[in-house]
């Protein structure tokens, strides 16, 4: 009896390792056993390439523009950068040049947009110095950190994790990745979000409290970064709600805009 349950535990552990490492559980585990079923690997198209960028983890930085930190009730001058994650399959790819349906999620009555620059990591590392951090970036994209604000606020109030407000299905819309090798890096440039043609958020990337290089350096002290990790770099002020039927357009200078209809 004890022997059987121990074996069951070991098999379960083997499957978990396999899923965590490969993301696509079709190969064999350390014990030679095959995976029970395959799991889809989320990925993002790369501009000018037939290859896709496989997503390992989605990191997000909170309150990275002073005016947004203030609107969320915190003091931007004293806070070190902090991070949270979304599951990798929260990605929703938004092809430029068309308006893609985006489902209004369950449980919320206050669904918010947050326009953000996304940096994609293709070279891992830990304790990465700021000076060399951008060498770890493969490319950049426009992203939205969609948020069930009412649920996030309720969890904050109860000092519980934000998960339900941030890490739900389809909560990470993203445009195609533009390789840094061709487009360069992003330390400044316009960033805006419109709803039904009206500007709601408008700022400049140079107002980020922590630059992409500083985000990578800080993040790599807490977690060893791996190829496939992507970082949502925070949103400027004037986040706000959308309802079904609204069309959101997100833009970052030098990148094509993305357009989503909330359905």
Do residues 182 and 48 touch, judged by C-beta distance below 8 A? yes
- We find the least distance from the C-beta atom of residue 199 to Mn ion, in angstroms, to be 19
Which lies closer to Mn ion via its Cβ, residue 15 or residue 260? 260
Which lies closer to Mn ion via its Cβ, residue 83 or residue 93? 83
Which lies closer to Mn ion via its Cβ, residue 23 or residue 167? 167
Which DSSP state fits 125?
Answer: B
Do residues 183 and 254 touch, judged by C-beta distance below 8 A? yes
Which lies closer to Mn ion via its Cβ, residue 136 or residue 149? 149
Q: Which residues bind Mn ion (CB under 5 A)?
A: 114, 145, 235
Which lies closer to Mn ion via its Cβ, residue 114 or residue 229? 114
Do residues 263 and 103 touch, judged by C-beta distance below 8 A? yes
- We find the least distance from the C-beta atom of residue 14 to Mn ion, in angstroms, to be 36
- We find the least distance from the C-beta atom of residue 64 to Mn ion, in angstroms, to be 8
Question: DSSP of 24-44, one letter per residue?
Answer: STTSB-TTSPBPSS-----EE
- We find the least distance from the C-beta atom of residue 114 to Mn ion, in angstroms, to be 4
- We find the least distance from the C-beta atom of residue 195 to Mn ion, in angstroms, to be 17
Which lies closer to Mn ion via its Cβ, residue 46 or residue 203? 203
Dihedral sign (CA 128, 209, 165, 72): positive
SS3 label, residue 1: coil
Close Cβ partners of 106 (under 8 Å, ≥ 6 residues apart):
none
- We find the least distance from the C-beta atom of residue 134 to Mn ion, in angstroms, to be 21
Distance CA 99, CA 88 (A): 23
- We find the least distance from the C-beta atom of residue 116 to Mn ion, in angstroms, to be 6
Which lies closer to Mn ion via its Cβ, residue 145 or residue 249? 145
Distance CA 17, CA 12 (A): 9
Partners of residue 116 on adjacent β-strands: 143
Which of 245, 18, 203 has its CA nearest to residue 115? 203
Cα pseudo-dihedral 212, 167, 141, 74, rounded to 10: -40
């Amino acid at each position: 009896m004890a022997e059987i349950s121990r074996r069951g535990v070991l098999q379960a552990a083997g499957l978990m390792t396999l899923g965590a490492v490969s993301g696509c559980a079709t190969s064999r585990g350390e014990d030679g056993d095959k995976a029970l079923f395959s799991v889809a690997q989320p990925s993002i198209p790369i501009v000018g390439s037939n290859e896709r960028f496989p997503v390992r983890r989605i990191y997000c930085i909170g309150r990275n523009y002073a005016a947004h930190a203030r609107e969320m009730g915190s003091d931007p001058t004293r806070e070190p950068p902090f991070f949270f994650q979304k599951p990798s399959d929260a990605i929703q790819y938004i092809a430029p040049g068309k308006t893609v349906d985006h489902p209004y999620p369950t449980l919320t009555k206050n669904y918010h947009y947050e326009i953000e620059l996304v940096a994609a990591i293709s070279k891992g590392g830990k304790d990465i110095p700021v000076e060399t951090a951008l060498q770890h970036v493969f490319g950049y994209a426009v992203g939205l950190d969609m948020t069930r604000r009412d649920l996030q606020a309720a969890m904050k109030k109860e000092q519980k994790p934000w998960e339900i407000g941030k890490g739900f299905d389809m909560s990470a819309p993203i445009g195609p990745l533009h390789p840094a090798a061709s487009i360069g890096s992003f330390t400044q440039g316009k960033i805006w979000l419109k709803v039904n043609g009206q500007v709601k958020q408008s700022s400049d990337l140079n107002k980020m409290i922590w630059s992409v290089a500083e985000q990578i350096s800080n993040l790599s002290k807490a977690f060893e970064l791996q190829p496939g990790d992507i970082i949502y770099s925070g949103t400027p002020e004037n986040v706000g709600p959308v309802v079904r039927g609204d069309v959101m357009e997100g833009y970052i200078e030098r990148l094509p805009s993305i357009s989503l209809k909330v359905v």
